């Protein structure tokens, strides 16, 4: 995908057909791409939250550090997502936003969203859908960490990432080490390794370097209790006729 097409435009375009004026406003949020190396902290918890970041390429995450040195990975961000939306009601960042890989992201002032919504009211509803989907993923992650055994937890996460990546093949690549994966799943790195071994012994997956191959899709779904409904937001309540008031919010 090129920057001309726009990652965020592609994501929001999944919910509704966009008019040219809406597309132009969304593309404007990606007009200032910057590159960040892996492990770069874009914004730290406690810092003034002045901007959002549209992720154009690579993977990033939101992390909370605990007093005893442990940490919890709260969100995994893929291209097209906006870092910081969940925290838009706070003046200070509530978590660290960290690049998991080398990334390209486009920072823009928070106030820019207000301008976008004033000029294209329907986009506010579509952004609400994005937040609803992210909230749904967070709720499912709480259930995953709180109630599923380790191997089922890992299997569920693998299937979620496959759906989110929209890959037709049964290959899933997770560009994160076992330490980060453990922090995302509320496990130790040792338990992550053991869980991979259990899934391989059940002949549900095989691993090859950094790739995970799902050998038995139906079996993995049954084993993990995975139901993708929490990833499939419906946009049929969003108006298809809201006017786009270009130039009225200047």
16: Cβ contacts below 8 Å, ≥ 6 apart: 122, 126, 235, 238, 240
Do 79 and 170 lie in one domain? The reply is no
Do 92 and 194 lie in one domain? The reply is no
Domain limits at 32? 7-120
- What is the chain's pLDDT, residue by residue, as a tens digit (250 residues)? 343 456 788 888 888 889 999 999 999 888 889 999 999 999 999 999 899 999 999 999 999 999 998 999 999 999 989 999 988 889 999 999 999 999 999 999 999 999 999 999 999 989 988 899 999 999 999 999 999 999 999 999 999 999 999 888 899 999 999 999 999 999 999 999 999 999 999 999 999 888 999 999 999 999 999 999 999 887 766 666 554 443 333 2
Whether 182 maps to a domain, the answer reads: yes
CATH at residue 147? 1.10.10.10
Whether 220 maps to a domain, the answer reads: yes
Do 107 and 151 lie in one domain? The reply is no
Whether 221 maps to a domain, the answer reads: yes
Give the closest residue to 75 by CA, choosing from 166, 176, 2.
176
Q: How many independent structural domains does the chain possess?
A: 2
Do 37 and 99 lie in one domain? The reply is yes
Cα–Cα distance between 191 and 181 in angstroms, integer? 10
Do 168 and 65 lie in one domain? The reply is no
Side-chain half-sphere CA neighbours of 149 within 13 A? 9
Do 30 and 98 lie in one domain? The reply is yes
Q: Are the CB atoms for 25 and 77 separated by under 8 Å? A: no
Whether 210 maps to a domain, the answer reads: yes
Do 12 and 52 lie in one domain? The reply is yes
CATH at residue 62? 2.60.120.10
Do 89 and 146 lie in one domain? The reply is no
Whether 245 maps to a domain, the answer reads: no
Q: Are the CB atoms for 159 and 224 separated by under 8 Å? A: yes
The model carries a pTM of: 0.89
Whether 136 maps to a domain, the answer reads: no
Whether 149 maps to a domain, the answer reads: yes
Whether 81 maps to a domain, the answer reads: yes
């Amino acid at each position: 995908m090129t920057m001309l097409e726009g990652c965020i435009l592609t994501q929001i375009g999944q919910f509704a057909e966009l008019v040219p004026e809406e597309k132009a406003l969304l593309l404007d949020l990606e007009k200032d791409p910057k590159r960040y190396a892996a492990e770069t902290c874009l914004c730290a918890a406690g810092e003034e939250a002045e901007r959002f970041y549209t992720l154009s390429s690579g993977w990033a995450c939101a992390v909370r550090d605990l007093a005893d040195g442990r940490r919890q990975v709260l969100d995994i961000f893929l291209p097209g997502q906006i870092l910081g939306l969940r925290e838009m009601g706070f003046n200070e960042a509530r978590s660290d936003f960290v690049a998991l890989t080398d990334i390209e992201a486009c920072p823009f002032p928070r106030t820019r969203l207000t301008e976008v919504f004033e000029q294209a009211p329907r986009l506010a509803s579509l952004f609400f859908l994005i937040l609803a989907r992210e909230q749904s993923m967070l709720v499912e992650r709480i259930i995953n960490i709180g109630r599923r055994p380790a191997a089922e937890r890992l299997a569920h996460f693998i299937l979620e990432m496959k759906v989110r990546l929209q890959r037709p093949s049964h290959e899933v690549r997770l560009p994160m080490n076992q330490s980060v994966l453990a922090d995302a799943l509320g496990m130790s790195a040792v338990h992550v390794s053991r869980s991979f071994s259990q899934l391989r012994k059940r002949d549900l997956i095989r691993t090859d370097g950094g790739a995970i191959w799902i050998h038995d899709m139906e079996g993995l779904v049954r084993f993990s209790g995975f139901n993708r409904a929490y990833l499939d937001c419906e946009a049929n309540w969003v108006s298809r006729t809201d006017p786009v008031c270009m130039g009225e919010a200047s």
